Amino acid sequence: MHIGSRLKRLREEKNLSQKSISAGIVSTSHYSNIESGRFEPSSEVLFLLAERLNVPSSYLHRIHEENFKLQKLLMEYERLIAEEKGGIDSFLIKNDSNFLYIASLKQEIMYNVLKYLEHLKLGRISDAQKHYREVIACIPKGYIADANLSILEKYQYVTGLYFYYERKYAASIGHFKESLHLSTDELMSAKINYNLALAYYHESDYGCTLVYAKQALRLYMDMHCWKECGDCYNLVAALYIDLHELNEAEKYINKGFSILAEEVTNTYGNLYHNLAVIHNVKKEYVQALEMVNRSLEVKKAIRSSNQFSSKKLKIDMLFELKDFETLQICLRQLREEVSNELEEAHLLRIEANMYFSMREYEQYERHMIRCIDLFLENEDWMSLKDVSREFSAYYADQKKYKSAYTYQEYSTRSYRHMMKELKGGEKI
């Protein structure tokens, strides 16, 4: 590790050229060699550069010296992120000045990794992704390679999370596996196994999903982490729903309910959601509506950010029950809550189906085309495959075979992408 990368980052943050920052201190060429790591600057040069950059001199002088007090704060920060009790905001307000200029390169990496996890813990996914792109992704690879195993493990883990939320599941799987290989902590290993199961689930590799979900479940069971066990049961249930093995799925949902002590948790809400899906697939719409309403009650009580899928499911049920008055109200409410393009795409599909039932085919086509465009732009291959196949069949019924062929190609293209990304796994 060398000081050059930190100097470059500070200089660019202040919109300074190499010539302006080095003027009167060293030659521009000499400064360029400092940034590239070819020259080691003297203490006097570092002091003058710190003064020009308006940062503490220790921020440039003590890059290899770990601060014991700061290390204790980082450990406390990590503990607060891991716990359910909260207290992160008050901790950061109290200790904000300690994290402003972290001299140790290793401790600065750890802080930025924990900052990413903090954003996720508080439901600020877009902030977390921005922090990764603007800060963590800019950390020189040499810094990471020279860090200790604990930092390297967490770096690989948050990189896996970053790619997961970018829906680049194959990349996330690679980083999660690297993190799992480095992990010596049982709880961390359980988290990584669970996230691997989630990533494989999105890749439609159900064999690997089951392997990693059961490994995570075993670890969580050993530690008596019952909420997390409920999450594992719910994921396996979702897998069996996709395989149309509904009795097996319901068995795992009931296991999830039986293991949870507290009813008002996000896990409880998700279990109710999947139970509603099962009733919906069985065309038991009244029972399904009851379960999805319970799911929404729980999610609202805990102010969950994950309510869109349950609200969408409720609208699907209202459509089947032909309760168009309530459906219209729910649609208007849901449109006000759309927060990203994928949610917009799913909503457009619902509205398209409504127009189709009303025989307003021009509106149906308009909504389907926009919906497909959004799924394509966001590389949601599973949704694109299904909706394109449906739209192709519609055009074939209309004897518009050129359009039917176009959208069948979209469906085939989506399937190829899914197969290309799919990894091998154990047969279920």
Q: Could you report the per-residue pLDDT of 325-349, keeping only the tens digit for each?
A: 898 899 888 888 888 899 999 999 9
On the question of pLDDT at 78 being above 50, the answer is yes
- Between the CA of residue 234 and those of 67, 237, 254, 424, what are the distances in Å? 43, 5, 9, 23
Query: What residues have CB less than 8 Å from 281, skipping those under 6 apart?
Result: 241, 244, 246
Between 421 and 165, the more confident residue is: 165
CA distance 407 to 411: 6
CA distance 40 to 121: 40
CA 53 to chain centre: 36
pLDDT score recorded for residue 410? 93
pLDDT band at 1 (very low <50, low <70, confident <90, very high): low
| The domain over range 225-326 is classified in CATH as 1.25.40.10 | yes
For residues 170-190, b (16+ Cβ closer than 10 Å) or e, as one string? Answer: ebbbbbbbbbbebbeeeebbb
**The domain 4-61 belongs to what CATH superfamily?**
lambda repressor-like DNA-binding domains (1.10.260.40)
The mean predicted confidence, pLDDT, of the chain is 90
CB 1 within 8 A of CB 146: yes
Joined together, the tokens standing for residue 236 give: 């396996």
To the nearest 10°, the Cα dihedral for 297, 129, 234, 380? 100
Q: What percent of the chain has pLDDT over 90?
A: 65
The pLDDT tens digits of the residues spanning 155-206 come to 999 999 999 999 899 999 999 999 999 999 999 999 999 999 999 999 889 9
Joined together, the tokens standing for residue 125 give: 């996914």
pLDDT score recorded for residue 427? 33
The reply to whether domains 4-61 and 225-326 share a CATH topology is no
C-alpha distance across the termini of the chain, in Å: 47
- Between the CA of residue 283 and those of 269, 306, 308, 346, 357, what are the distances in Å? 21, 24, 21, 21, 18
Q: What are phi and psi of 424, to 5 degrees?
A: -70, 150
Q: Which residue in this structure is represented by tokens 């990794």? A: 113
CA 297 to chain centre: 24
Question: Residue ranges per domain, the chain?
Answer: 4-61, 68-147, 225-326, 338-428
On the question of pLDDT at 421 being above 70, the answer is no
pLDDT band at 243 (very low <50, low <70, confident <90, very high): very high
Joined together, the tokens standing for residue 144 give: 């990471």
The pLDDT tens digits of the residues spanning 5-57 come to 889 888 988 899 999 999 999 999 999 999 888 888 888 999 999 999 999 99
Any idea what DSSP says for residue 204?
T
On the question of pLDDT at 315 being above 50, the answer is yes
- Between the CA of residue 347 and those of 126, 312, 352, 387, what are the distances in Å? 21, 8, 9, 13
244 SS3 class: coil
Q: Which residue in this structure is represented by tokens 């939320």? A: 165
CA distance 320 to 265: 29
